[in-house]
Amino acid sequence: MKVFVPLIIAPLLLISTFNVLSNEDKIVVRNANDSGQGSLRAALLSGKTTVEIDASVGSIKLLSPLIVEDVKKLNILGAGQWIDGSKIVGNDHILSMKSIADLTVQGINFVGNAEEISQDPDKQVGGSAIYVGVPASFAQDLNVSLKNVSIARVGGHGVHVSDCSTGSICGGGNNAEGKGSSASIYVDLDSVSIRNVGYGRQDGDGFRVDERGIGSIYMNISNSLFYEAGADGMELDEAGSGDVVVNIDKSAFLNNGAYCDLVKFKNGSKCDDEGSPDLDDGFDIDEADEGSIMINLTNTDANHNYDEGFDFDEQGKGDIVFNGKLLEAASNLNEGIKVSEENGGSVRVLLSQLLAVDNNGSKEGVQIEEEGKGDLEVRLGKSTMIGGAAEKLKVEQADKGKGILKIESSNEIELDLKGVKVK
Protein backbone atom coordinates (compact mmCIF):
# COMPACT_ATOMS: atom_id res chain seq x y z
CA MET A 1 0.00 0.00 0.00
CA LYS A 2 1.26 3.42 -0.89
CA VAL A 3 1.66 5.95 1.89
CA PHE A 4 -1.47 8.09 2.18
CA VAL A 5 -0.86 11.62 1.02
CA PRO A 6 -3.56 14.12 2.02
CA LEU A 7 -5.23 15.66 -0.98
CA ILE A 8 -4.39 19.28 -1.61
CA ILE A 9 -6.43 20.79 -4.38
CA ALA A 10 -5.02 24.09 -5.53
CA PRO A 11 -7.49 26.94 -6.04
CA LEU A 12 -9.06 26.52 -9.44
CA LEU A 13 -7.92 29.05 -11.98
CA LEU A 14 -11.24 30.32 -13.22
CA ILE A 15 -11.27 33.08 -15.77
CA SER A 16 -12.47 36.25 -14.09
CA THR A 17 -15.34 37.83 -15.97
CA PHE A 18 -16.16 40.57 -13.49
CA ASN A 19 -13.83 43.19 -14.94
CA VAL A 20 -15.18 45.42 -17.68
CA LEU A 21 -12.49 46.22 -20.21
CA SER A 22 -14.08 49.33 -21.72
CA ASN A 23 -17.37 51.17 -21.92
CA GLU A 24 -17.68 49.95 -25.49
CA ASP A 25 -18.17 46.43 -24.15
CA LYS A 26 -20.93 47.45 -21.70
CA ILE A 27 -24.59 48.24 -21.93
CA VAL A 28 -26.71 49.47 -19.00
CA VAL A 29 -30.27 48.34 -18.27
CA ARG A 30 -32.27 51.49 -17.43
CA ASN A 31 -35.80 50.17 -16.80
CA ALA A 32 -37.74 47.13 -15.64
CA ASN A 33 -39.69 46.65 -18.87
CA ASP A 34 -39.97 43.19 -20.39
CA SER A 35 -38.65 44.44 -23.73
CA GLY A 36 -37.77 47.53 -25.69
CA GLN A 37 -35.07 50.14 -25.38
CA GLY A 38 -33.31 50.15 -22.01
CA SER A 39 -34.69 46.70 -21.01
CA LEU A 40 -32.76 43.65 -19.91
CA ARG A 41 -33.97 41.69 -22.93
CA ALA A 42 -32.71 44.31 -25.35
CA ALA A 43 -29.38 44.49 -23.53
CA LEU A 44 -28.88 40.72 -23.77
CA LEU A 45 -29.54 40.86 -27.51
CA SER A 46 -27.14 43.76 -28.05
CA GLY A 47 -24.04 41.61 -28.37
CA LYS A 48 -22.26 43.53 -25.61
CA THR A 49 -19.96 41.60 -23.29
CA THR A 50 -21.24 43.18 -20.07
CA VAL A 51 -24.87 43.87 -19.19
CA GLU A 52 -25.15 46.03 -16.07
CA ILE A 53 -28.51 46.60 -14.38
CA ASP A 54 -28.69 50.09 -12.95
CA ALA A 55 -29.32 50.24 -9.20
CA SER A 56 -32.49 52.28 -9.81
CA VAL A 57 -34.13 49.37 -11.65
CA GLY A 58 -36.50 47.32 -9.50
CA SER A 59 -38.00 43.88 -10.08
CA ILE A 60 -38.03 42.83 -13.74
CA LYS A 61 -41.17 40.87 -14.58
CA LEU A 62 -40.69 38.75 -17.67
CA LEU A 63 -43.47 37.79 -20.05
CA SER A 64 -41.35 35.21 -21.90
CA PRO A 65 -37.97 33.48 -21.47
CA LEU A 66 -34.66 35.27 -21.91
CA ILE A 67 -32.68 33.48 -24.63
CA VAL A 68 -29.09 34.31 -25.53
CA GLU A 69 -27.24 32.65 -28.41
CA ASP A 70 -23.84 32.90 -30.09
CA VAL A 71 -22.12 35.07 -27.47
CA LYS A 72 -18.44 34.42 -26.66
CA LYS A 73 -18.56 35.98 -23.20
CA LEU A 74 -21.34 37.47 -21.11
CA ASN A 75 -21.36 39.23 -17.73
CA ILE A 76 -24.76 40.04 -16.21
CA LEU A 77 -24.18 42.35 -13.25
CA GLY A 78 -27.08 43.32 -11.03
CA ALA A 79 -27.55 45.26 -7.82
CA GLY A 80 -29.86 42.86 -5.99
CA GLN A 81 -32.76 42.94 -8.46
CA TRP A 82 -35.34 40.17 -8.81
CA ILE A 83 -35.82 38.58 -12.20
CA ASP A 84 -39.44 37.44 -11.95
CA GLY A 85 -40.16 34.51 -14.25
CA SER A 86 -43.52 33.60 -12.73
CA LYS A 87 -45.28 34.26 -16.07
CA ILE A 88 -43.09 31.68 -17.83
CA VAL A 89 -44.99 28.41 -18.14
CA GLY A 90 -44.27 24.97 -19.51
CA ASN A 91 -40.67 23.79 -19.63
CA ASP A 92 -39.02 27.05 -20.67
CA HIS A 93 -36.05 28.31 -18.67
CA ILE A 94 -35.96 31.83 -17.24
CA LEU A 95 -32.49 32.44 -18.71
CA SER A 96 -31.32 30.10 -21.47
CA MET A 97 -27.74 30.34 -22.72
CA LYS A 98 -26.51 28.60 -25.87
CA SER A 99 -23.24 28.65 -27.80
CA ILE A 100 -21.30 30.75 -25.29
CA ALA A 101 -17.80 30.59 -23.84
CA ASP A 102 -18.05 32.22 -20.40
CA LEU A 103 -20.97 33.32 -18.23
CA THR A 104 -20.90 35.47 -15.10
CA VAL A 105 -24.04 36.36 -13.13
CA GLN A 106 -23.67 38.63 -10.12
CA GLY A 107 -26.09 40.31 -7.72
CA ILE A 108 -29.35 38.92 -9.16
CA ASN A 109 -32.27 36.94 -7.70
CA PHE A 110 -34.36 34.60 -9.87
CA VAL A 111 -37.87 33.43 -8.98
CA GLY A 112 -40.23 31.17 -10.93
CA ASN A 113 -43.86 30.11 -10.64
CA ALA A 114 -43.66 26.62 -9.11
CA GLU A 115 -46.24 27.01 -6.36
CA GLU A 116 -47.46 23.39 -6.32
CA ILE A 117 -45.90 19.95 -6.55
CA SER A 118 -46.48 18.12 -9.83
CA GLN A 119 -48.14 14.84 -8.91
CA ASP A 120 -46.99 13.03 -12.07
CA PRO A 121 -43.24 12.30 -11.84
CA ASP A 122 -43.15 11.14 -15.47
CA LYS A 123 -43.99 14.61 -16.76
CA GLN A 124 -41.55 17.53 -16.63
CA VAL A 125 -43.24 20.72 -15.50
CA GLY A 126 -41.03 23.78 -15.37
CA GLY A 127 -37.56 24.61 -16.63
CA SER A 128 -34.46 25.87 -14.85
CA ALA A 129 -33.73 29.38 -13.66
CA ILE A 130 -30.47 29.26 -15.64
CA TYR A 131 -29.76 26.76 -18.39
CA VAL A 132 -26.36 26.63 -20.12
CA GLY A 133 -26.22 24.30 -23.09
CA VAL A 134 -22.82 23.34 -24.51
CA PRO A 135 -22.81 22.55 -28.26
CA ALA A 136 -21.23 19.27 -29.35
CA SER A 137 -18.67 21.19 -31.45
CA PHE A 138 -17.49 23.28 -28.49
CA ALA A 139 -13.70 22.94 -28.25
CA GLN A 140 -12.69 25.45 -25.57
CA ASP A 141 -13.36 25.34 -21.84
CA LEU A 142 -16.57 26.76 -20.41
CA ASN A 143 -16.53 29.04 -17.35
CA VAL A 144 -19.67 29.66 -15.28
CA SER A 145 -19.43 32.02 -12.31
CA LEU A 146 -22.26 33.01 -9.94
CA LYS A 147 -21.81 35.45 -7.08
CA ASN A 148 -24.47 36.86 -4.74
CA VAL A 149 -27.20 35.01 -6.64
CA SER A 150 -30.39 33.44 -5.29
CA ILE A 151 -32.82 31.12 -7.05
CA ALA A 152 -36.24 29.93 -5.89
CA ARG A 153 -39.44 28.26 -7.10
CA VAL A 154 -38.58 26.82 -10.49
CA GLY A 155 -40.03 23.43 -11.40
CA GLY A 156 -36.81 22.02 -12.88
CA HIS A 157 -33.18 22.39 -11.86
CA GLY A 158 -32.17 25.65 -10.23
CA VAL A 159 -29.14 25.81 -12.54
CA HIS A 160 -28.32 23.26 -15.25
CA VAL A 161 -25.03 23.24 -17.14
CA SER A 162 -25.32 20.56 -19.80
CA ASP A 163 -22.50 19.28 -22.00
CA CYS A 164 -24.75 16.45 -23.11
CA SER A 165 -26.41 15.69 -26.42
CA THR A 166 -29.76 15.02 -24.78
CA GLY A 167 -29.80 18.51 -23.22
CA SER A 168 -32.15 19.20 -20.35
CA ILE A 169 -33.15 15.52 -20.08
CA CYS A 170 -29.60 14.15 -19.90
CA GLY A 171 -29.57 10.90 -17.97
CA GLY A 172 -28.42 11.20 -14.39
CA GLY A 173 -26.44 8.90 -12.14
CA ASN A 174 -24.44 6.03 -13.52
CA ASN A 175 -26.56 5.67 -16.66
CA ALA A 176 -24.11 8.00 -18.43
CA GLU A 177 -26.54 8.71 -21.26
CA GLY A 178 -25.75 11.18 -24.01
CA LYS A 179 -22.62 12.40 -25.75
CA GLY A 180 -20.72 15.64 -25.26
CA SER A 181 -18.03 18.00 -26.48
CA SER A 182 -14.32 18.01 -25.67
CA ALA A 183 -14.79 21.01 -23.34
CA SER A 184 -14.11 21.05 -19.61
CA ILE A 185 -16.54 22.92 -17.37
CA TYR A 186 -15.30 25.31 -14.67
CA VAL A 187 -17.85 26.49 -12.09
CA ASP A 188 -17.31 29.10 -9.37
CA LEU A 189 -20.10 29.71 -6.83
CA ASP A 190 -19.78 32.35 -4.11
CA SER A 191 -22.68 33.30 -1.82
CA VAL A 192 -25.27 31.42 -3.87
CA SER A 193 -28.63 30.32 -2.45
CA ILE A 194 -30.79 27.78 -4.29
CA ARG A 195 -33.98 26.73 -2.51
CA ASN A 196 -37.40 25.23 -3.13
CA VAL A 197 -36.72 24.10 -6.70
CA GLY A 198 -37.25 20.86 -8.61
CA TYR A 199 -40.79 19.99 -7.55
CA GLY A 200 -42.17 20.02 -11.07
CA ARG A 201 -40.82 16.57 -11.93
CA GLN A 202 -38.64 13.73 -10.77
CA ASP A 203 -34.86 14.48 -10.66
CA GLY A 204 -35.01 18.26 -10.43
CA ASP A 205 -31.74 19.26 -8.71
CA GLY A 206 -30.64 22.48 -7.11
CA PHE A 207 -27.46 22.76 -9.19
CA ARG A 208 -26.59 20.22 -11.85
CA VAL A 209 -23.68 19.71 -14.22
CA ASP A 210 -23.72 17.03 -16.93
CA GLU A 211 -20.38 16.48 -18.65
CA ARG A 212 -19.78 13.98 -21.43
CA GLY A 213 -16.76 13.43 -23.65
CA ILE A 214 -13.11 13.95 -22.68
CA GLY A 215 -13.59 17.09 -20.57
CA SER A 216 -13.62 17.42 -16.78
CA ILE A 217 -15.67 19.25 -14.15
CA TYR A 218 -13.85 21.72 -11.89
CA MET A 219 -15.84 23.42 -9.16
CA ASN A 220 -15.18 25.95 -6.38
CA ILE A 221 -18.02 26.67 -3.92
CA SER A 222 -18.03 28.97 -0.89
CA ASN A 223 -20.65 30.45 1.45
CA SER A 224 -23.51 28.79 -0.41
CA LEU A 225 -26.79 27.05 0.46
CA PHE A 226 -28.66 24.28 -1.38
CA TYR A 227 -31.99 23.84 0.40
CA GLU A 228 -35.18 21.91 -0.30
CA ALA A 229 -34.48 20.80 -3.86
CA GLY A 230 -36.88 18.10 -5.00
CA ALA A 231 -33.94 15.90 -6.01
CA ASP A 232 -30.25 16.39 -5.16
CA GLY A 233 -29.14 19.70 -3.72
CA MET A 234 -26.23 19.41 -6.15
CA GLU A 235 -25.53 16.70 -8.73
CA LEU A 236 -22.37 16.38 -10.81
CA ASP A 237 -22.46 13.71 -13.54
CA GLU A 238 -19.27 13.06 -15.48
CA ALA A 239 -18.85 10.30 -18.07
CA GLY A 240 -15.74 9.89 -20.17
CA SER A 241 -12.04 10.23 -19.45
CA GLY A 242 -12.35 13.50 -17.51
CA ASP A 243 -12.21 14.06 -13.75
CA VAL A 244 -14.42 15.73 -11.17
CA VAL A 245 -12.44 18.13 -8.96
CA VAL A 246 -14.34 19.96 -6.20
CA ASN A 247 -13.42 22.45 -3.47
CA ILE A 248 -16.21 23.48 -1.06
CA ASP A 249 -15.99 25.70 2.02
CA LYS A 250 -18.62 27.11 4.40
CA SER A 251 -21.64 25.68 2.60
CA ALA A 252 -24.67 23.51 3.36
CA PHE A 253 -26.93 20.94 1.67
CA LEU A 254 -30.14 20.77 3.67
CA ASN A 255 -33.49 18.96 3.35
CA ASN A 256 -33.08 17.90 -0.27
CA GLY A 257 -34.46 14.93 -2.18
CA ALA A 258 -38.09 14.69 -1.02
CA TYR A 259 -39.99 14.94 -4.34
CA CYS A 260 -40.73 11.24 -4.81
CA ASP A 261 -41.82 10.98 -1.19
CA LEU A 262 -44.39 13.74 -1.66
CA VAL A 263 -46.19 12.44 -4.76
CA LYS A 264 -48.51 9.47 -5.10
CA PHE A 265 -46.32 6.41 -5.66
CA LYS A 266 -46.92 4.42 -8.84
CA ASN A 267 -45.12 1.23 -9.83
CA GLY A 268 -43.09 1.70 -13.00
CA SER A 269 -42.96 5.48 -12.78
CA LYS A 270 -39.73 7.49 -12.74
CA CYS A 271 -40.07 7.62 -8.96
CA ASP A 272 -40.04 3.82 -8.72
CA ASP A 273 -36.71 2.61 -7.35
CA GLU A 274 -37.19 -1.16 -7.10
CA GLY A 275 -40.56 -0.76 -5.45
CA SER A 276 -39.73 2.23 -3.24
CA PRO A 277 -39.75 5.99 -3.84
CA ASP A 278 -36.51 7.17 -5.48
CA LEU A 279 -35.24 9.72 -2.99
CA ASP A 280 -32.19 11.94 -3.44
CA ASP A 281 -29.10 13.32 -1.73
CA GLY A 282 -27.65 16.50 -0.41
CA PHE A 283 -24.57 16.40 -2.67
CA ASP A 284 -24.19 13.66 -5.30
CA ILE A 285 -21.24 12.95 -7.63
CA ASP A 286 -21.35 10.17 -10.23
CA GLU A 287 -18.26 9.53 -12.36
CA ALA A 288 -18.19 6.83 -15.00
CA ASP A 289 -15.32 5.57 -17.16
CA GLU A 290 -11.65 6.44 -16.60
CA GLY A 291 -11.75 9.75 -14.73
CA SER A 292 -11.23 10.27 -11.00
CA ILE A 293 -13.12 12.11 -8.26
CA MET A 294 -11.08 14.52 -6.10
CA ILE A 295 -12.94 16.32 -3.33
CA ASN A 296 -11.88 18.79 -0.66
CA LEU A 297 -14.68 19.82 1.76
CA THR A 298 -14.32 22.07 4.80
CA ASN A 299 -16.88 23.61 7.17
CA THR A 300 -19.74 22.04 5.23
CA ASP A 301 -22.99 20.36 6.35
CA ALA A 302 -25.33 17.83 4.75
CA ASN A 303 -28.34 17.45 7.03
CA HIS A 304 -31.95 16.22 6.81
CA ASN A 305 -31.61 14.95 3.23
CA TYR A 306 -33.94 12.18 2.08
CA ASP A 307 -31.20 9.80 0.90
CA GLU A 308 -27.47 10.23 1.54
CA GLY A 309 -25.96 13.46 2.80
CA PHE A 310 -22.77 13.18 0.73
CA ASP A 311 -22.81 10.49 -2.00
CA PHE A 312 -19.72 10.00 -4.19
CA ASP A 313 -19.64 7.11 -6.71
CA GLU A 314 -16.94 6.19 -9.24
CA GLN A 315 -17.57 3.37 -11.72
CA GLY A 316 -14.52 3.21 -13.97
CA LYS A 317 -10.76 2.88 -13.60
CA GLY A 318 -10.36 6.21 -11.83
CA ASP A 319 -9.71 6.83 -8.14
CA ILE A 320 -11.58 8.63 -5.38
CA VAL A 321 -9.59 10.96 -3.14
CA PHE A 322 -11.69 12.69 -0.47
CA ASN A 323 -10.51 15.11 2.20
CA GLY A 324 -13.14 16.33 4.64
CA LYS A 325 -12.60 18.58 7.66
CA LEU A 326 -15.22 20.05 9.99
CA LEU A 327 -18.09 18.26 8.27
CA GLU A 328 -21.53 17.56 9.72
CA ALA A 329 -23.88 14.86 8.44
CA ALA A 330 -27.02 14.66 10.55
CA SER A 331 -30.51 13.18 10.27
CA ASN A 332 -30.14 11.99 6.69
CA LEU A 333 -32.51 9.12 5.93
CA ASN A 334 -29.66 7.02 4.56
CA GLU A 335 -25.90 7.25 5.10
CA GLY A 336 -24.48 10.56 6.16
CA ILE A 337 -21.49 9.89 3.88
CA LYS A 338 -21.22 7.21 1.20
CA VAL A 339 -18.09 6.73 -0.93
CA SER A 340 -18.07 3.91 -3.47
CA GLU A 341 -15.60 2.79 -6.17
CA GLU A 342 -16.68 -0.17 -8.30
CA ASN A 343 -13.78 -1.09 -10.57
CA GLY A 344 -9.97 -0.90 -10.65
CA GLY A 345 -9.50 2.46 -8.97
CA SER A 346 -8.36 3.11 -5.41
CA VAL A 347 -10.11 4.98 -2.59
CA ARG A 348 -8.36 7.28 -0.15
CA VAL A 349 -10.44 9.12 2.44
CA LEU A 350 -9.24 11.45 5.18
CA LEU A 351 -11.94 12.72 7.54
CA SER A 352 -11.09 15.04 10.40
CA GLN A 353 -13.49 16.53 12.96
CA LEU A 354 -16.52 14.84 11.42
CA LEU A 355 -19.81 14.89 13.32
CA ALA A 356 -22.28 12.22 12.14
CA VAL A 357 -25.53 12.19 14.12
CA ASP A 358 -28.74 10.17 13.75
CA ASN A 359 -28.36 9.04 10.18
CA ASN A 360 -30.93 6.36 10.93
CA GLY A 361 -31.90 4.99 7.55
CA SER A 362 -31.55 1.35 6.63
CA LYS A 363 -27.77 1.55 6.19
CA GLU A 364 -24.70 2.84 8.00
CA GLY A 365 -23.88 6.34 9.18
CA VAL A 366 -20.71 6.38 7.05
CA GLN A 367 -19.99 3.79 4.33
CA ILE A 368 -16.77 3.63 2.32
CA GLU A 369 -16.22 0.77 -0.11
CA GLU A 370 -13.94 -0.35 -2.91
CA GLU A 371 -15.24 -3.27 -4.97
CA GLY A 372 -12.50 -3.76 -7.59
CA LYS A 373 -8.76 -4.42 -7.64
CA GLY A 374 -7.74 -1.06 -6.25
CA ASP A 375 -6.62 -0.30 -2.70
CA LEU A 376 -8.59 1.38 0.05
CA GLU A 377 -7.26 3.59 2.82
CA VAL A 378 -9.39 5.48 5.35
CA ARG A 379 -8.22 7.77 8.13
CA LEU A 380 -10.64 9.19 10.70
CA GLY A 381 -9.48 11.71 13.27
CA LYS A 382 -11.09 13.71 16.09
CA SER A 383 -14.56 12.63 15.02
CA THR A 384 -17.85 11.68 16.64
CA MET A 385 -20.66 9.41 15.44
CA ILE A 386 -23.86 9.31 17.48
CA GLY A 387 -27.08 7.49 16.69
CA GLY A 388 -29.01 4.25 16.79
CA ALA A 389 -27.90 0.75 15.90
CA ALA A 390 -27.40 1.68 12.26
CA GLU A 391 -24.97 4.50 13.03
CA LYS A 392 -21.81 2.60 12.10
CA LEU A 393 -18.65 3.24 10.21
CA LYS A 394 -18.66 0.63 7.46
CA VAL A 395 -15.42 0.17 5.51
CA GLU A 396 -15.26 -2.58 2.91
CA GLN A 397 -12.55 -3.79 0.53
CA ALA A 398 -14.42 -6.39 -1.50
CA ASP A 399 -11.77 -7.64 -3.94
CA LYS A 400 -8.02 -8.23 -4.22
CA GLY A 401 -6.88 -4.78 -3.18
CA LYS A 402 -5.53 -3.87 0.25
CA GLY A 403 -7.68 -2.14 2.84
CA ILE A 404 -6.48 -0.08 5.82
CA LEU A 405 -8.43 1.88 8.44
CA LYS A 406 -6.82 4.18 10.98
CA ILE A 407 -8.81 5.96 13.69
CA GLU A 408 -7.15 8.64 15.82
CA SER A 409 -8.45 10.59 18.84
CA SER A 410 -12.11 9.85 18.12
CA ASN A 411 -15.00 8.90 20.36
CA GLU A 412 -15.87 5.21 20.47
CA ILE A 413 -17.19 4.32 17.04
CA GLU A 414 -18.95 1.08 16.10
CA LEU A 415 -17.22 -0.56 13.15
CA ASP A 416 -18.43 -2.82 10.34
CA LEU A 417 -15.36 -3.98 8.43
CA LYS A 418 -14.68 -6.36 5.55
CA GLY A 419 -11.28 -6.97 4.02
CA VAL A 420 -9.81 -4.12 6.08
CA LYS A 421 -7.03 -4.02 8.67
CA VAL A 422 -7.23 -1.56 11.54
CA LYS A 423 -3.99 0.27 12.36
**Which pLDDT band holds residue 167 (cuts at 50, 70, 90)?**
low
Length of the chain equals 423
Is residue 196 domain-resident? yes
Range of the domain at 180: 35-318
Tell me the average pLDDT across 232-259: 96
Is residue 25 domain-resident? no
β-bridge mates for residue 52, sequence order = 28, 77
Asked if residue 344 lies in contact with residue 317, where contact means CB atoms within 8 angstroms, the answer is yes
Q: How far apart are CA 71 and CA 91, in angstroms?
A: 23
**Best-predicted range by mean pLDDT (238-242, 264-268, 326-330):** 326-330
- 3 state SS of 315: coil
What mean pLDDT, rounded, does the chain reach?
Answer: 89
**Cα Rg of the chain (Å, integer):** 21
Q: How far apart are CA 371 and CA 419, in angstroms?
A: 10
Asked if residue 368 lies in contact with residue 347, where contact means CB atoms within 8 angstroms, the answer is yes
Is residue 155 domain-resident? yes
Predicted confidence at residue 115, as pLDDT, reads 82
Predicted confidence at residue 399, as pLDDT, reads 79
Q: Which helix (H) or strand (E) holds 196?
A: strand 185-197
| C-alpha 14 chain-centroid distance | 18
Each residue of 274-293: pLDDT tens digit?
999 999 999 999 998 889 99
Q: What is the DSSP letter of 211?
A: E
Query: Could you tell me the sign of the dihedral formed by the alpha carbons of 14, 20, 25, 30, in that order?
Result: positive
DSSP alpha helix (H) spans, 250-391: 259-262
Residue 169 phi, psi dihedral angles, 5° rounding: -110, 25
Each residue of 343-358: pLDDT tens digit?
888 999 999 999 999 9
**Which pLDDT band holds residue 75 (cuts at 50, 70, 90)?**
very high
Asked if residue 418 lies in contact with residue 399, where contact means CB atoms within 8 angstroms, the answer is no
Predicted confidence at residue 13, as pLDDT, reads 44
Each residue of 301-346: pLDDT tens digit?
999 999 999 999 998 889 999 999 999 999 999 999 999 998 888 9
Is residue 287 domain-resident? yes
Asked if residue 178 lies in contact with residue 163, where contact means CB atoms within 8 angstroms, the answer is no
Per residue, the 3-state secondary structure of 136-166, as one string, reads CCCCCCEEEEEEEEEEECCCCCCEEEEECCC
Entry pTM: 0.93
Predicted confidence at residue 396, as pLDDT, reads 93
Least confident of 52-56, 80-84, 417-421: 417-421
Predicted confidence at residue 23, as pLDDT, reads 64
Each residue of 364-407: pLDDT tens digit?
789 999 987 889 999 999 998 887 666 789 999 987 789 999 99
Tell me how many domains the chain contains: 1
Tell me the average pLDDT across 19-35: 81
Is residue 73 domain-resident? yes
β-bridge mates for residue 130, sequence order = 95, 159
Asked if residue 309 lies in contact with residue 302, where contact means CB atoms within 8 angstroms, the answer is yes
Predicted confidence at residue 391, as pLDDT, reads 77
Is residue 47 domain-resident? yes
Q: How far apart are CA 217 and CA 244, in angstroms?
A: 5
Q: How far apart are CA 210 and CA 195, in angstroms?
A: 20
Percent of the chain with pLDDT over 70: 91
Predicted confidence at residue 2, as pLDDT, reads 36
Residue 9 pLDDT more than 50?
A: no
Tell me the average pLDDT across 247-272: 96
**Which pLDDT band holds residue 100 (cuts at 50, 70, 90)?**
confident
Please state whether 49 falls in left (phi above 0), alpha (psi between -120 and 50) or beta.
Answer: alpha
Pairing mode of beta strands 142-152, 276-277: unpaired
**Which pLDDT band holds residue 160 (cuts at 50, 70, 90)?**
very high
Pairing mode of beta strands 60-61, 50-53: unpaired
Of the candidates 336, 309, 335, 310, the one whose C-alpha atom is nearest the C-alpha of residue 322 is: 310
Residue 190 phi, psi dihedral angles, 5° rounding: -135, 120
Strands (E), 240-354: 244-254, 272-273, 276-277, 283-288, 293-303, 310-314, 320-330, 337-341, 347-352
Is residue 232 domain-resident? yes
Percent of the chain with pLDDT over 90: 70
Each residue of 172-202: pLDDT tens digit?
544 566 788 889 999 999 999 999 999 999 9
Residue 276 phi, psi dihedral angles, 5° rounding: -125, 160
Q: Which helix (H) or strand (E) holds 44?
A: helix 40-44
Q: How far apart are CA 402 and CA 421, in angstroms?
A: 9
Cβ neighbours of residue 134 closer than 8 Å, sequence gap 6 or more: 142, 161, 162, 163, 164, 180, 181, 183, 185
Residue 5 pLDDT more than 80?
A: no
Is residue 156 domain-resident? yes
